[in-house]
Structure 1
Amino acid sequence: MNLVVTILYSLAVLSFLFSIYFFLGYRSQKKEWNQTVKKIFPEEERKSIISRWGERFDERESSQALKNKLHNANLKLLPSEYLGILIVGYMALFVLMFSIFSMPIMVSVLLPLVLITLVNYLLFYFRKNSYEHRFNDQLSEVCRILGNAARSGLTINQGIDLVAREVSAPAGEEFKRISNELKMGVTLENALRTVQKRNKSRDFNLFIATLLIQKKTGGNLALTLETMANTFEDRKVLNQIIKTMTSEQKYISLIVPILPILLLLVMNNVIDGFIDPLWSGFGLVILVLFLAAIVLSFILIRKITDIKV
């Protein structure tokens, strides 16, 4: 009986020691894994109280829509930073209207709010595809690098890793994410589909389809990528020519609405009560027609110069 108790006690102690050993090994592996993840996905450290408030705001679900808009507009700002810029801009416009241009207090409060709202809308309207445009401009370079890697005998995964090191942002950052996901065991198709959710352009869809089809069916990947690179470069040159030819009209579309408003504010600063008739019944009609004409001219000029290839 004593022998059985001794054996059971020894087994219990041995099991306890083994459990401690495996637990310490698990903690060590978990620590190494966390360090690896932090190296791949580094986090910015914030120290001030305002920064911590901003971080809490950025983590809210309600700020995700603004975060996506900033990403698509290719603005490297956090939602809290962008909101702070809008608040500072509103305060600066209020001081400008009330102190410098001698506008009434109600106008100085409401007009900057209208201007900030308008600027916010126009910013995201005209830059809604800025991220895609910059990404697509780099696709020719990406195809060249992948094609050269294929000629050198490298795999697609190795070529993507090379693109992540050689190409600048934004394409470089996206391919760096793809490279990290591939190293963590994610399939090539799933990694590419993840990026496709953020960039749904026609050129990138063609690029993804080419890579996936070539990987499944085989063929001369280097020649296919070289042909794609030439096509993307020709389209890029054509877009640049169109942009150069329409640049004057685009600047005119900005000058036309800004110049009369600026002249009106300057005249109100020179002559006291210059804009007071605008707040009367007939003056409000003229003001509405004036603003409508400015907005219409801006939209028409932009529509005429918006040539898609």
Structure 2
Amino acid sequence: MIIGIIGALAVFALLLAIYFWLQMKAAQRQTSEVLEKYVGSTTEIGWSDRLVERLDQYEWAKNLEPQLKRASIQLRPAEYAAVLTITGFGLMFLLNMGMGAPLSVSVTIPLIAIPIASKMLISSRKFLYAQKIDGQLSEACRLMSSTARAGLSIPQGLELVVKEMDGPIQEELGIVVRELRLGKSLEVSLRDMLKRVETKDLHVFINALIIQRRAGGDLASVLGEMASTMEERKIIHKTIDATIAQARYSAYLMPLISIFIVMIMSQMVDNFFDFFSSTFGMIVLAVFVFLQIIGFILIRKIADIKV
């Protein structure tokens, strides 16, 4: 039991060190960008940065980069892959050395768990990114409504929103504004934005702009009423989130509690993990993991109340 605890603390300390190292590298990159922009000089690029830049040129990294950006994960693809790899090795070390699991089990569990955990992390972060945009839409509608009353066009109103606001909505609408300056049509740019970040509120906002562009109408009044409606929806969402918070936390705690019970049993029963090296044991392990995933999904579905 003591060895398992020491191993868990060692893995946690390693992950914590990696986290702070990545934070330091991100701060160094930001400093370098500021120096290059205002001073015209940059700090010397280290071997690790050169290695990361080289790895980021591969196809898998280019496909992963937009996913990380949409998930608001401030890591480059190579850095994210390194974190997953080190986490996998840490989990393998904990299972094999700390808990005495066979090598086959210690290798199989990280190979299955790490990709699933990565996908769940990116998906959950994308949801948070979309939530942030929904939270800013009411203010964007008010600004667009004011510009419409002042006689400005929709592209001019979007430029004002980009100048006055920050956060994810500034980034997404900034892409639309740049595309409009390059000659892309407003409707195509807005629909491309909806493909990148698809939410109900954003869908209503973009459709209102497209319909007004095609048929005309009192855009200022429509956007003003839309802003009020979105504010009311935001209040309802917060109330619901507070009500179902316990169910959502249960979905995340359930697999953690199961893993903790397995750790306890491995210390209480001699050669506990030898059972999972047999064919029947592997089937039991697969069923256990499958039921954990099903339970997690069911609890999330029950707690996912649509408004």
Q: TM-score range by the shorter chain?
A: 0.7 to 0.9
1:6 corresponds to which residue? Answer: none
1:199 corresponds to which residue? Answer: 197
Give, in whole Å, the separation in 1 of the partners of 2:294 and 2:182: 52
Q: Helix, strand or coil: the match of 1:307? A: coil
Q: Tell me: CA distance 1:45–1:272, structure 2 relative to 1, closer, same or farther (3 Å).
A: farther
TM-score (norm 1): 0.73
2:209 corresponds to which residue? Answer: 211
Unaligned runs of 5+ in 2: 1-35
Q: Tell me: CA distance 1:147–1:68, structure 2 relative to 1, closer, same or farther (3 Å).
A: same
For residues 49-64 of structure 1, the aligned pairs below 5 Å read 49-64=47-62
Unaligned runs of 5+ in 1: 1-37
Q: Tell me: CA distance 1:151–1:252, structure 2 relative to 1, closer, same or farther (3 Å).
A: same
Q: Deviations over 1:107-148 (max 9, x none)?
A: 323322222122123224444544333322221111011112
Letter in 2 for 1:73: A
Residue 231 of structure 1 deviates from its aligned partner by 2.1
1:104 corresponds to which residue? Answer: 102
Q: Tell me: CA distance 1:302–1:187, structure 2 relative to 1, closer, same or farther (3 Å).
A: closer
Q: Tell me: CA distance 1:104–1:244, structure 2 relative to 1, closer, same or farther (3 Å).
A: same
Q: Tell me if the contact between 2:102 and 2:277 (Cα under 8 Å) persists in the aligned partners.
A: no
1:81 corresponds to which residue? Answer: 79
1:119 corresponds to which residue? Answer: 117
Q: Tell me: CA distance 1:249–1:214, structure 2 relative to 1, closer, same or farther (3 Å).
A: same
Q: Helix, strand or coil: the match of 2:247? A: helix
Q: Deviations over 1:199-256 (max 9, x none)?
A: 3434323322322333454432221111111222222222222222221111111222
For residues 220-235 of structure 1, the aligned pairs below 5 Å read 220-235=218-233
Q: Deviations over 1:130-189 (max 9, x none)?
A: 433332222111101111233344443332222112222210112223333444555433
**Correspondence for 2:262 among 231, 254, 264:** 264
Residue 97 of structure 1 deviates from its aligned partner by 2.2
Give, in whole Å, the separation in 2 of the partners of 1:193 and 1:81: 32
Q: Tell me: CA distance 1:72–1:151, structure 2 relative to 1, closer, same or farther (3 Å).
A: same
**Correspondence for 2:288 among 265, 287, 290:** 290
Letter in 2 for 1:220: D
**Correspondence for 2:91 among 79, 90, 93:** 93
Q: Tell me: CA distance 1:62–1:275, structure 2 relative to 1, closer, same or farther (3 Å).
A: closer
Give, in whole Å, the separation in 2 of the partners of 1:278 and 1:201: 44
Q: Tell me if the contact between 1:74 and 1:131 (Cα under 8 Å) persists in the aligned partners.
A: yes
2:21 corresponds to which residue? Answer: none
Q: Tell me if the contact between 1:72 and 1:130 (Cα under 8 Å) persists in the aligned partners.
A: no
Alignment coverage as a number of residue pairs:
268
**Correspondence for 2:235 among 237, 252, 275:** 237
**Correspondence for 1:276 among 274, 277, 287:** 274
Identity, % of aligned positions = 36
Q: Tell me if the contact between 2:100 and 2:273 (Cα under 8 Å) persists in the aligned partners.
A: no
Q: Helix, strand or coil: the match of 2:176? A: helix
**Correspondence for 1:133 among 127, 131, 134:** 131
Residue 50 of structure 1 deviates from its aligned partner by 3.4
What is the RMSD computed on CA atoms of the aligned residues?
3.1
Moved more, 76-85 or 65-74: 65-74
